[in-house]
Structure 1
């Protein structure tokens, strides 16, 4: 079901899996021992829920309307030409619209020149997927698929759970830094966290220099 442009979807997978992998590798072991083992457990459950909703949104049918068969398309074209008559050369043909009565109300169905069908209300043609989608909301490049009638609920759950996972990881990252910085300051905390950007900016310093500076900070 995915569209031709899949690069952004793979970037989404990389960002989610990479961020969670770093959190599980460097934060969760400390938090599970010093706070609660429920922290990594809930993070794992939330991570799998995010991945499940993402894959369900990406690989499920958003509500693609089947195109007309060649015989059906020919018959519809003949009906339209018979209704509109011959259009003089150089003039724009009238819009192709069919009036349908639904619940005692007249609804106008627009004709799709690509799919050769009259689209139902709230349906639209996606230029990226090249399909008419029922209750079309938008095409999301982050999931690599259209968002429509059949996968809108999964897309909503994905965005909601991903926001919760982001807040969860960010919150416990701050908690981890605070807990490490309590005994003797943040200097030793950043030295112990070898993945910290602070150490990347101070690579010329030796590890012994970091320990000496941290002890001096703690003592006075």
Structure 2
């Protein structure tokens, strides 16, 4: 007995991933062809710029960051080119080896601080923003009138009352120690400051790398200064002994 194939109903669904929002169309075939693909960094509302398909996140103004890189590279290059050969020959080869390792660590912490997410808090969706605005009941107000959101909100955390400040740009009550960066136009968790030397904000997710960068850079500067001073002293005494 011949049976007619059942009609296939056209349907569509939306697949949401952690780093992209993809829309697919199911036309009854076994193969689902992508209809539209939009990644979150492509519609990011802040003022950051992205590279390497969204894996690198930086601020818009990166001129001082490039100057920082050039300053470190040129200073270290002069040290490795003029001082290290003499010190490695007359003192110990460990001096340039330690200098190279320290230089690599400085640059890696700098790039990790500059290219990472400092702790940006996602903005509220239109539905979430409307729900927050409805949380305040204005007495003696006519129905349908606009009610502005509250500037602060009190919540109880571990038995203690904590005040959360409202961000009128991101439409959220940001957590304690969070602040809105005017340069990047983002609310950053545990915001410390916006550092133009690294070209990024310093917050919860990159503060440790920023601290390691400052510490290692200070050690590198002291190390180069001490080695250059040693080089000059050895040159001076060798000239005196040769005479």
Give the shorter-chain TM-score range: 0.7 to 0.9
Compare the two structures and name the one with the higher helix fraction.
1
Alignment of 1:58-73 (within 5 A): 58-73=114-129
Corresponding residue SS for 2:166: strand
Does residue 10 (structure 1) correspond to residue 66 (structure 2)? The answer is yes
Distance 2:218 2:205 in 1: 22
2:132 to 76, 84, 94: 76
Corresponding residue SS for 2:101: helix
C-alpha spacing 1:85/1:104, structure 2 compared with 1 (3 Å): farther
C-alpha spacing 1:73/1:169, structure 2 compared with 1 (3 Å): same
> Is contact 1:123–1:133 with CA below 8 Å preserved after alignment?
yes
Does residue 132 (structure 1) correspond to residue 187 (structure 2)? The answer is yes
C-alpha spacing 1:162/1:135, structure 2 compared with 1 (3 Å): same
* Bigger relative contact order (CA 8 A; separation at least 6): 1
Calculate the TM-score normalised by the size of structure 2: 0.70
Corresponding residue SS for 1:182: helix
Post-superposition shift, 1:74?
A: 2.2
In the other structure, the counterpart of 2:167 is: 112
Post-superposition shift, 1:15?
A: 0.4
In the other structure, the counterpart of 1:35 is: 91
Calculate the TM-score normalised by the size of structure 1: 0.77
After the TM superposition, list the runs of 4 or more consecutive aligned residues in structure 1 that deviate by more than 6 angstroms. Answer: none
Does residue 56 (structure 1) correspond to residue 112 (structure 2)? The answer is yes
C-alpha spacing 1:106/1:179, structure 2 compared with 1 (3 Å): same
The number of equivalent residue pairs is 182
Q: Which runs of 5+ in 2 are unaligned?
A: 1-56, 142-147
Deviation string, structure 1 residues 153-191 (Cα, Å, up to 9, x no partner): 111100000000000001110111111111335xxxxxx
Distance 1:131 1:219 in 2: 64
> Is contact 1:110–1:119 with CA below 8 Å preserved after alignment?
yes
Compare the two structures and name the one with the higher strand fraction.
2
In the other structure, the counterpart of 2:79 is: 23
Distance 2:186 2:217 in 1: 28
Post-superposition shift, 1:83?
A: 4.5
